[in-house]
Amino acid sequence: MKACILFTISIFVFISCSQKQDKYLITGELRGLGNKEILIFEWTGKKDTIAKSISENDQFTIIGNIDMPVQAYIEIEGISGYIPVFIENSKIEITGNVDELSKALIAGSETDKIYKEFTRSFSERFAAEKDSLSIIYNEAEKANNNELLEQAKDGYGKLYTKQKEFIIDFSRQHLNSVAVPYIMLEELFFRATVEELKELYNQLDPSILSSKYSKMVIEKITNLDRVAIGKIAPDFTMNDSSGAEISLSSFKGKWVLIDFWSSNCGPCRKENPELVKIYKQYKNKGFEILGISSDVKKELWIGAIKADGITWPQVCNLDRSNDPARVLYCWEYNPFNILVNPEGVIVAKELSISDLKRKLKDVLH
């Protein structure tokens, strides 16, 4: 009875407050919850608390307000896992079992509904093809079959194109939802060109441009545009393993491959022997490689350099949160590379080994 009274009071407060300003009302009923602290937080590299509550008899209620929808997580004291949900100013109902938080049902958040529709349809459309390519790629790696590896990579390229088209088509059906810039950040940036990203951003409804995700999208587009093909490669200075400073500008006058990698990146380590061969062939013909590792442990970085026989310049900040190259070049995954011509202009990105061989053969024959 007490829980029912509290719930009724909360509804009354929500209705009264909503007449004055926008609010969200989150009500939850999770079997086995009992009386525990409920934390709603946003992940920004750390937990940023949005709200807290105490459950009673498997139920909880939280009232608050938020400027724009955000992806949040509901965490329960003493329970592993969490419930992801887009919080928005609406009545949001959460039901389920405390032992299966990932299966909790969410109703009332339109932003969450759209995002979950995307993730479900995206998975249904592409999961089987992705799994098939993964099997081919892994078998090719085990057999050391470079031809089959290239075929698998080509398959991934075609898959990414289809996925990109799917994401853009889905987004265009929901241009007034904050879920769209969030999806762009999560799924589209590494699949689309700067021009495609700009075009979609310019179609977003003005009502969502003040959301944090829309602002992050335009910031990333601006950063990507700065390092687009045809632009001058921004200079940076980092330390090698001995602590000596190395700047990109010190290689001006040469063709430079900026190679982003790490010791725990399987595909990177697989490509290194091929890069060693290419480097030996072209290092005296005006070609240089500048390796930039995302390692945070120096011994692992140095160990991989020695094990793979790498002799070209290598730098590493050993701190991913404070890496100038990561910021300047929008570096978010490994392997990743950028080819810079002798004038310091970016001429290509994400070259495969075969692409790099063809390019160097053309320009340094």
Q: What pLDDT score was predicted for residue 170?
A: 99
Q: How confident is residue 1, by pLDDT bands cut at 50, 70 and 90?
A: very low
324, pLDDT greater than 80? yes
333, pLDDT greater than 90? no
- Please state the φ and ψ torsions of residue 283, each to the nearest 5 degrees: -65, -25
Residue 213, Cβ density class (10 Å: 0-12 exposed, 13-18 middle, ≥19 buried): buried
351, pLDDT greater than 70? yes
pLDDT, tens digit (0-9, with 9 covering 90-100), for 105-148 = 999 999 999 999 999 999 999 999 999 999 998 898 888 888 88
Residue 234, Cβ density class (10 Å: 0-12 exposed, 13-18 middle, ≥19 buried): middle
Q: What pLDDT score was predicted for residue 362?
A: 95
Q: Of all residues in the chain, what percent are helix, strand and coil, respectively (each to 5)?
A: 45, 25, 30
Tokens encoding 307: 């094990």
Q: How confident is residue 323, by pLDDT bands cut at 50, 70 and 90?
A: confident
21, pLDDT greater than 70? no
Tokens encoding 302: 């140095």
DSSP state, residue 77: T
336, pLDDT greater than 80? yes
Residue among 107, 44, 3, 68 nearest 204 (CA)? 68
pLDDT, tens digit (0-9, with 9 covering 90-100), for 259-281 = 999 999 988 998 999 999 999 99
**Amino acid identity, position 103:** K
Q: Give mean pLDDT, residues 180-204.
A: 95
Return the minimum-mean-pLDDT range out of 62-66, 187-191, 357-361: 187-191
pLDDT, tens digit (0-9, with 9 covering 90-100), for 305-315 = 999 999 999 99
Cβ(22)–Cβ(65) below 8 Å: yes
Tokens encoding 149: 């590896």
What span, in angstroms and rounded, lies between the C-alpha atoms of 247 and 238? 7
Tokens encoding 332: 């978010």
pLDDT, tens digit (0-9, with 9 covering 90-100), for 77-107 = 999 999 999 999 999 999 999 999 999 999 9
Residue among 2, 13, 65, 57 nearest 33 (CA)? 57
Average pLDDT of the chain, as a whole number? 92
**Amino acid identity, position 350:** E
Q: How confident is residue 35, by pLDDT bands cut at 50, 70 and 90?
A: very high
Q: What pLDDT score was predicted for residue 5?
A: 38
Where do the domains of the chain lie, and which CATH numbers do they carry? 2-108 (2.60.40.10), 112-226 (no CATH), 237-363 (3.40.30.10)
